Amino acid sequence: MNKLMMWKIVPLLIIAAVVLSACGAQAGPEMTEPPAQTQPEVQPNQPAAGLEGTVWVADEEGNSITVVDAATNQVLTTLVGVEGAHNLQVAPDGKTVWVVSGHDSLAIMIDAVTFEVHGVVPTGMMPAHIVLTPDGKKAYATNGEDNTVTVIDVEAMSTIDTIPVGEYPHGLRVSPDGSWVYVANAKSTTLSVIDVAQDVKVADIEVGEHPVQVGFSPDGTLSYFSLNGENALGKLDLATQELLGKVAVGVGPIQVFVTPNNQYVLVANQGTEEKPSTTVSMVDVATFEVVATLETGLGAHGVVIDPSSRYAYISNIYEDTVSVIDLESRRVIATIPTGDSPNGISFSPLPAPANVPAEIRLEIPEGGMNMPMP
Q: Which spans in the chain are helix H?
A: 3-22
Asked whether residue 268 carries a pLDDT value surpassing 80, the answer given is yes
Cβ atoms within 10 Å of 38's Cβ, excluding its own: 13
Q: What is the mean pLDDT of residues 249-272?
A: 98
Of 174, 179, 145, which Cα lies nearest the Cα of 162? 145
Asked whether residue 43 carries a pLDDT value surpassing 70, the answer given is no
Q: Which residues pair with 128 in a beta bridge?
A: none
For residues 39 and 62, the model is more confident at 62
Asked whether residue 338 carries a pLDDT value surpassing 70, the answer given is yes
Q: What is the mean pLDDT of residues 310-329?
A: 97
- For 138-258, strand residue ranges (E) read 138-143, 148-153, 158-164, 169-174, 180-185, 190-195, 200-206, 211-216, 222-227, 232-237, 242-248, 253-258
State the pLDDT at residue 255: 98
State the pLDDT at residue 49: 63
Cβ atoms within 10 Å of 61's Cβ, excluding its own: 18
For 156-189, write each residue's pLDDT tens digit: 999 999 999 999 999 999 999 999 999 999 999 9
Asked whether residue 112 carries a pLDDT value surpassing 50, the answer given is yes
CB 306 within 8 A of CB 51: yes
State the pLDDT at residue 297: 97
Q: What is the mean pLDDT of residues 353-357?
A: 94
Q: What is the mean pLDDT of residues 146-150?
A: 98
Asked whether residue 358 carries a pLDDT value surpassing 70, the answer given is yes
Q: What is the mean pLDDT of residues 242-256?
A: 98
CA distance 42 to 32: 28
For 12-24, write each residue's pLDDT tens digit: 444 434 332 333 3
State the pLDDT at residue 17: 40
Question: Quick one: what percent of the chain has pLDDT higher than 90?
Answer: 83
DSSP secondary-structure letter at 340? Answer: S
Question: Quick one: what percent of the chain has pLDDT higher than 70?
Answer: 84
User: What is the widest separation between alpha-carbon atoms in the chain?
Assistant: 57
CA distance 15 to 229: 6
Asked whether residue 47 carries a pLDDT value surpassing 70, the answer given is no
CA distance 148 to 162: 6
Cβ atoms within 10 Å of 363's Cβ, excluding its own: 9
For residues 49 and 130, the model is more confident at 130
CB 89 within 8 A of CB 107: no
State the pLDDT at residue 27: 35
State the pLDDT at residue 362: 96
State the pLDDT at residue 22: 30
Least confident of 193-197, 269-273, 364-368: 364-368
Least confident of 123-132, 210-219, 268-277, 363-372: 363-372
State the pLDDT at residue 365: 78
Cβ atoms within 10 Å of 30's Cβ, excluding its own: 8
State the pLDDT at residue 374: 54
Residue 28: pLDDT band (50, 70, 90) is very low
What does DSSP say about strands 342-348 and 54-59: parallel, antiparallel, or unpaired?
antiparallel
Least confident of 15-29, 128-142, 201-215: 15-29
CB 199 within 8 A of CB 178: no
State the pLDDT at residue 50: 73
Average pLDDT, the chain: 89
Of 173, 124, 126, which Cα lies nearest the Cα of 149? 124
CATH of 3-17+48-361, one of 3.20.20.60, 3.20.20.10, 2.130.10.10, 3.40.50.1400: 2.130.10.10
Rounded to a whole number of angstroms, the distance between the first and last alpha carbons of the chain is 38
Asked whether residue 79 carries a pLDDT value surpassing 70, the answer given is yes
